[in-house]
Structure 1
């Protein structure tokens, strides 16, 4: 098994900015593993237990949906991945070894306290209020890549309901006066296409209208 040292970590792209004493402390706490080509490192939707440092090789990050796989990124050696563990979240994607690789796992709390020298809970509060909303936005955009327009529009309505929704007797009202033109720009379609699908959603009782506000039925929206 490869013996990872602080000096080795200092040569990686993801950790080069940190001091050698901090990286020595980090290296002593790493759990290093070899992964063969196509071996799963972590599964999508599983609780993130560790952050990973890719010592060598390449890791494939992919999003699985309806038996389809969309490759999100190829991670080169020297980078960190699996950062959802910092917020005790689930992995939104699957990570597999694209080729034989060596990856080192470490608990998020240990990573934060070794490298930043700050209590984990203090950092976590900052992370949740600043980094996490942008992370959610990135994941949301990536999940729409492999969807057809109907599903992409349904996903966006659900996202808007999460962000701007208010309880309503018919479901959740999106408390935002959003035009068909704006929705079309968000999902990458024409205004006419969006109008046609919204009318269909209305007929199917997936949404309702209240002036220019849209009310969504979450249960039916998830079935689209």
Structure 2
């Protein structure tokens, strides 16, 4: 983030606050969406299973740990099953032939990634990387297909998961197609403020670290444009930035910008 002045101190609690890898209280995914309540919150893939059924499913999987920045699967690579997120945060994104990236979503615990071809056929349409240190359970496609014939509740969980992802990607497409880059970034800042906001005398701190590049990939803009726009908001006294921390000094003004653009 753009370096700010030292006149507005950032509290130590924010600086030392761990990245909210999966602690999103309002949803089980961070995605560009007009209305987060329409998407709702996905129950865990294993929510409908009995304790014994969970044990059986997990016995067919392999627990893996991915450190921040590590790749789970690559766009264009053959499918080999799904990854059930136990902890951490997984970023899924698409890379165009020109090399430009668009983030589809950040997925939190309870979700699975690696679809939509959950049975290990076809190729991956996008790439998945660990946005923070993460623990997942890899379920091979062939075993997963056999398991759902034995455990109907698992099939329900997979269908619910795919439906949830479909709603997420649909709302993202709607935002990209009907809202300007300015509207999208203001909307994202408000959502992050409401989700990770830490009230303070100076305003509301966003207790989650995102770089200018992260914002650019989420709203479909360039990093340079994001930097310029955030600097404009800072000059107007609406936000204050320091490295990867943002203080929203005037949420009402930020919301008014969104309403004015609508």
TM-score, length basis structure 2: 0.40
For the pair shown, which has the larger CA radius of gyration, 1 or 2?
A: 1
Asked which structure has the greater RCO (Cα within 8 Å, sep 6+), the reply is: 2
**Higher percent of residues as strand:** 1
TM-score, length basis structure 1: 0.47
